[in-house]
Copies of this chain bind each other. A is one copy, B any other.
Amino acid sequence: MKQTTKKEKFFEESLKLIHEKGFKAVTMRDIAQRLDFEPANIYNYIDSKQALLELYLFDISYEFHDSLNNILKSSYSPEEKLKLIISTHIQLTAKKPYKMALLVNEWRNLKEPKLTEFTEGKKVYENKIRDVIAKGIEEGQFRSMDIEIATYSFLSSLRWIYDKYTGSESKINPFELEKQISDFIFTGMGK
């Protein structure tokens, strides 16, 4: 039995609204209307519109960093690490697709100093991925290629996945998705 259902509903519906219309396009009045109460009511739950975005973004961002760090701490090979990264990325995205969508599309709307904090974290994350790939090439598990482009390609192969878990269509099985994405990243489309 959940408590404070109204507060939870607020955060849930606001998140979806921001995903649907974009952060800048959503007004406090939009949110209020969706929840069927007056705009002033929102400030019982959150200090400002910006704070709302920050909350969503840093919450999911932390989870990704944390999960990545745990994988990196392990003694798995670079290839196994990448597979784990793919796996946990898809699991997390399947569980929190709307926050993931904000992470991809709305971080630009952060204001300083939060914007810098976020983009620095983003760089750190990407560099960690790049290091795994670099090591994998070095050790001969991956073929020789441009490391930066490989990093971008790898990350972009994961970035669109939230799209499969937002909306009302039947959701794809995360494990099947993981297999398909893994195959694409490691063996490509060719035979």
CA distance A189 to B109 in the complex (A): 34
CA distance A177 to B149 in the complex (A): 8
Contact A25 B109 (CB under 8 A): yes
- In the complex, whether A140 has a CB less than 8 A from a CB of chain B is yes
Contact A143 B22 (CB under 8 A): no
Number of copies: 2
CB-based nearest B residue for A155: B160
Q: Which of A8-16, A47-55, A178-186 contacts B (4 or more CB under 8 A)?
A: A178-186
Give the shortest distance, in Å, between A37 (CB) and chain B (any CB). Answer: 25
CB-based nearest B residue for A144: B191
**Dominant secondary structure at the A interface:** helix
Give the shortest distance, in Å, between A19 (CB) and chain B (any CB). Answer: 11
Interface core residue of A140, A184, A187 (most chain B CB under 10 Å): A184
CA distance A156 to B156 in the complex (A): 6
Contact A188 B191 (CB under 8 A): no
Partner of A189, one of B150, B156, B181, B191: B150
- In the complex, whether A108 has a CB less than 8 A from a CB of chain B is yes
CA distance A146 to B163 in the complex (A): 16
- In the complex, whether A85 has a CB less than 8 A from a CB of chain B is no
- In the complex, whether A152 has a CB less than 8 A from a CB of chain B is yes
Residues of chain B within 8 A (CB-CB) of A145 are: 180, 183-184, 189
Residues of chain B within 8 A (CB-CB) of A180 are: 145-146, 149-150
Given contacts A153-B184, A157-B153, A157-B156, A189 and B24 within 8 Å (CB-CB): no
Tell me the A residues contacting B by CB distance below 8 Å.
22, 24-25, 79, 82, 105, 108-109, 133, 136, 140-143, 145-146, 149-150, 152-154, 156-157, 159-160, 163, 176-177, 180-181, 183-191
* 10 A–B pairs (Cβ distance < 8 Å), ordered by A: A25-B108, A25-B109, A136-B189, A140-B191, A141-B190, A143-B189, A143-B190, A143-B191, A149-B177, A154-B189
